[in-house]
Structure 1
Amino acid sequence: MQEFLLGAATSAYQVEGNNVYSDFWLMEQAEHTSFKERSGDAVDHYNHYEEDIRLMKKAGMNAYRFSIEWARIEPEKGRYNDGAIAHYRKVLECCHENGITPVVTMHHFSSPVWLIRENGWENEKVVGYFRDYCVYVTAQLGDIMEYVCTINEANMRLQVTSVMRTMLKNMGVNLQVGMNFELPEEYAVGEREISEILGGVKKANTFMAPCTPEGDLLIMEAHEAARDAMKAKCPHLKIGLTLSLHDIQPVTGGEQSAKEIWNEEFTHYLPYIQKDDFFGLQNYTRMLVNAEGELPVPDGKQCTQMGYEFYPEALEHVIRTVSKELELPIIVTENGVATLDDQERIEYLQTALYGVKRCIDDNVPVIGYLHWSLFDNFEWQLGYSKKFGLIEVDRSMQERKPKESFYKMAAIWKTAHTRRDER
């Protein structure tokens, strides 16, 4: 029987530091940027990965989801960086040496600047560009990879589009990623500045920019093209993608609204993932909806640092909903909470993990849980203030300070099994 994958997740841009060829790095440096602070050295995981992976082993984890930075691998179109490939081989080897199964993400939001100069994720050429990058990485590293997520939260661009519509209606905003909607007065100036830096493109179509329906489908075409080409190169690889999903709960009169939102978040992607080997499920909270759409968090409910509801029960609900519509093994590739109180994180973990175990007991094929995140890291436009991590980092010294939750996670999972076995 396959060992359950229990571990944590990161993304390259949020933890490595100095991803100078990435689109977000360019936007951070703009004088009138929407980023509240710059990523800089981040938590310097690029140089501290050995220490970090050994810590994971010490905490009883056996899996690590991390991403490969496309812009490091291909800083200029068609020119690959041998040094970057060598680095990621070392990361993979370190995982294996420590009994950690690597779950590799090929694209986690950030893209090479050259891609954005060519209209980014609205340019149909992105399908071939992404496929070729994935094939190159597979040719170099596929022998020591096993699980691969092509694209992180492939529905994020559509969710950002939906949030923009919601904001226009002055309703609640529920987005499971760090975007800054408190934009400076000079934001329009910053947009023009970035456009000039990119060579005059009218809009920076990054992976966090609102998309057209055609742009949404381009992402799925890129996924399919990459998946098929990588499998052809290395048939042993288990390949899927990840989606950001809410536990959508209708209140009186909201049933049709809930169905439409779920279709946008999940159902309409089903034709493109039937040939995948697993599904990466990412959830943080629930969404209450009425006939008009999403509702704000109810008065009196506990909220996270991100402003959405503290609701770890959502994970079990979403797993069960997905399993009714998709017959694939499920890996929870992200689930967690932004909080300054680590006891809240422990509470969140306990509720979420017990829910996962109940799903498994009911024969739902959940094969892994990867907590977001391993570190308190760079939460995109919101900077370093949001604390998702199992490990605190003193960035002045890059000193790792594991929290109680870091060591508790494996124990909580073990207890969930023991209590079930005793019944």
Structure 2
Amino acid sequence: MAEGTTRRTVLAGIAAATAIRPVMAAPAAKMPKGFLWGAAISAHQSEGGNTASDSWLLENLPETVYKEPSGDGCDSLNRYAQDFAIAKALGLNCYRFGIEWARIEPEPGRFSLAVLDHYRRVLAACRAHGLMPIVTYSHFTVPRWFAMRGGWEAADSADLFARFCETATRALGDQIGMASPFNEANIHLLAKLWRGAATPEYRAKRTAMIAAAARATNSPAFSSILFADPDRIDAHLLDAQAKAYQAIKAGPGDFPVGVTLTTQAVEPFGEGSVAARIEGELYGSWWDAVNASDFVGVQTYTRMRVDANGLMPPPQGAELTAAGYEYYPQALGHTIRLAARKTNKPIYVTESGIGTDDDSRRIAWLDASMAELERCMADGIKVHSYIYWSLLDNFEWTQGYGQRFGLVDVDRTSFARKMKPSARHFASLIRARR
């Protein structure tokens, strides 16, 4: 498969060990009062019609690396109440979703009051369904004008982002329950680790896409986070996290603001393994950012096996997910323990999921992930949530709609939602632990 550029797709080809069988459920441990059970989604991947964003432009270019455009998404822009109703029916008590910067500020300094009003209605509906809203201010996408002027490579990018966060919080903050400025704030560092494994053909196509975007917008500086040079944007993203934190905490509202990270398990194999170096490159200075915020969001999908030469390819016969990387739910226990070592901030599992067309494997994933979570908590690590990615089968970036992470199937024509058996299984896991 072609190399992807986000956490789930960039991990394609990661090492695998043996196929994992479904885990037999142990007697359920009751979770502490206030534990958050949830599902996650992003604005661009589910809302549809995000025409003012950088991603919409890239998806629709003839030279694109995207398999298909996002189009109407899951029409969650209009059907959000249906999604909240499903989440409530599953017994969830929180819902993690994004507000779309490109909709709110479609031109620099011009904020849409109508869109902010829309998101107020979304937040109110979320609360009306008994769900605490956990809001992401930027889930990879940015306004097209922001990308045209250099994106996160621009020296003033952090200030522009903080201005957006301040404006959005003034309008919405009193309805927000928790928030993070970024989804997977270190995603560019994960992309850097895997970029060297890209085929020459893919690299050339990616370069041609960005060049085409620059021509189409008459902006030679065009830059998009999923395709930018990580070394040119890391310092600006760290600055943006710090400034956005202050802007959001200024209120209104009094809610925790944290850092969500892509936290894949990095495991050493053999003598001279360079796993420590790889782990350092994956996280960079982002644990310092965590320690300057209110919580850390752990977002885990697999592991990286590392020998003396670096990242190892998957062995023949390994069980892989639809995204191409190792089926390894045990990674969640590893990354929760890593977070506990790296910070004393509250730990939330803000994403954990699997892309598969075999829903029985999703059920097995949920069982195994729950077992890892409970083992960590039995060892005294306080974990405050388990949030599954994703509620819906949605747009998976460069891979389009072919990878299904959802607990709920979405008909691509009618947008009708249909719960999968895994959704009902998740509900039963929650009931047993309440």
TM over 0.5: yes
Asked if 2 retains the 8 angstrom alpha-carbon contact of 1:6 and 1:410, the reply is no
Q: 1:280 aligns with which of 297, 300, 323?
A: 297
2:122 equivalent to 1:91:
yes
Name the residue aligned to 2:166: 135
Give the distance between the partners of 1:347 and 1:330, measured in 2 at CA: 24
Asked if 2 retains the 8 angstrom alpha-carbon contact of 1:160 and 1:210, the reply is no
Q: Deviation at 1:410?
A: 2.9
Name the residue aligned to 1:223: 241
Letter in 2 for 1:262: E
Q: 1:3 aligns with which of 30, 34, 45?
A: 34
Asked if 2 retains the 8 angstrom alpha-carbon contact of 1:14 and 1:39, the reply is yes
Note the 1:248-259 alignment, pairs <5 A.
248-255=266-273, 257-259=274-276
Q: Deviation at 1:17?
A: 0.2
SS of alignment partner, residue 367 of structure 2: helix
Asked if 2 retains the 8 angstrom alpha-carbon contact of 1:156 and 1:244, the reply is yes
Asked if 1 retains the 8 angstrom alpha-carbon contact of 2:210 and 2:223, the reply is no
Letter in 2 for 1:227: Y
Structure 1 379/254 Cα, relative in aligned 2: closer, same or farther at 3 Å?
farther
Asked if 2 retains the 8 angstrom alpha-carbon contact of 1:254 and 1:291, the reply is yes
Q: Deviation at 1:233?
A: 2.6
Q: Deviations over 1:346-375 (max 9, x none)?
A: 000110012112212222121011100111
Q: Deviations over 1:32-91 (max 9, x none)?
A: 211111111011001100111011101111110000000000000000011111111111
Give the distance between the partners of 1:65 and 1:289, measured in 2 at CA: 32
Q: Deviation at 1:201?
A: 1.4
Q: What TM-score do the two structures reach when normalised by structure 1? A: 0.91
Q: Deviation at 1:182?
A: 6.8
Name the residue aligned to 1:369: 386
Name the residue aligned to 1:172: none
Letter in 2 for 1:196: R
Asked if 1 retains the 8 angstrom alpha-carbon contact of 2:410 and 2:418, the reply is yes
Name the residue aligned to 1:174: none
Name the residue aligned to 1:175: none
2:212 equivalent to 1:193:
yes
Structure 1 182/311 Cα, relative in aligned 2: closer, same or farther at 3 Å?
farther
2:351 equivalent to 1:320:
no
2:349 equivalent to 1:348:
no
Asked if 2 retains the 8 angstrom alpha-carbon contact of 1:254 and 1:293, the reply is no
SS of alignment partner, residue 384 of structure 1: coil
Name the residue aligned to 2:314: 297
SS of alignment partner, residue 233 of structure 1: coil
Note the 1:3-402 alignment, pairs <5 A.
3-167=34-198, 183=202, 189-202=208-221, 204-234=222-252, 236-255=254-273, 257-266=274-283, 268-402=285-419
Give the distance between the partners of 1:166 and 1:34, measured in 2 at CA: 16
Give the distance between the partners of 2:130 and 2:185, measured in 1 at CA: 29
Give the distance between the partners of 2:48 and 2:105, measured in 1 at CA: 17
Q: Deviation at 1:183?
A: 3.8
Q: Deviations over 1:131-183 (max 9, x none)?
A: 01001011001111120011011111122122112447xxxxxxxxxxxx974
Q: How many residue pairs end up in the alignment?
A: 403
SS of alignment partner, residue 412 of structure 1: helix
Give the distance between the partners of 1:160 and 1:267, measured in 2 at CA: 13
Structure 1: runs of 5 or more not aligned: 169-180, 419-423
Name the residue aligned to 2:25: none
Letter in 2 for 1:286: R
SS of alignment partner, residue 225 of structure 2: coil
Q: Deviation at 1:191?
A: 3.5
Give the distance between the partners of 2:215 and 2:268, measured in 1 at CA: 45
Give the distance between the partners of 1:186 and 1:273, measured in 2 at CA: 35
Asked if 1 retains the 8 angstrom alpha-carbon contact of 2:40 and 2:350, the reply is yes
Letter in 1 for 2:293: D
Letter in 2 for 1:239: V
SS of alignment partner, residue 86 of structure 1: helix
Q: Deviation at 1:212?
A: 4.1
Name the residue aligned to 1:177: none
Q: Deviation at 1:215?
A: 1.4
Give the distance between the partners of 2:126 and 2:386, measured in 1 at CA: 17
2:428 equivalent to 1:411:
yes
Asked if 2 retains the 8 angstrom alpha-carbon contact of 1:21 and 1:113, the reply is yes
Q: Deviation at 1:330?
A: 1.0
Q: Deviation at 1:184?
A: 9.7
Q: Deviations over 1:255-297 (max 9, x none)?
A: 4x11111112225322222121110111100110001110012
Q: Deviation at 1:246?
A: 1.2
Give the distance between the partners of 2:264 and 2:237, measured in 1 at CA: 20
Asked if 1 retains the 8 angstrom alpha-carbon contact of 2:268 and 2:306, the reply is yes
Give the distance between the partners of 1:211 and 1:265, measured in 2 at CA: 15
Letter in 1 for 2:85: R
Asked if 2 retains the 8 angstrom alpha-carbon contact of 1:116 and 1:198, the reply is no
SS of alignment partner, residue 355 of structure 2: coil
SS of alignment partner, residue 141 of structure 2: coil
Give me the CA root mean square deviation. 1.8
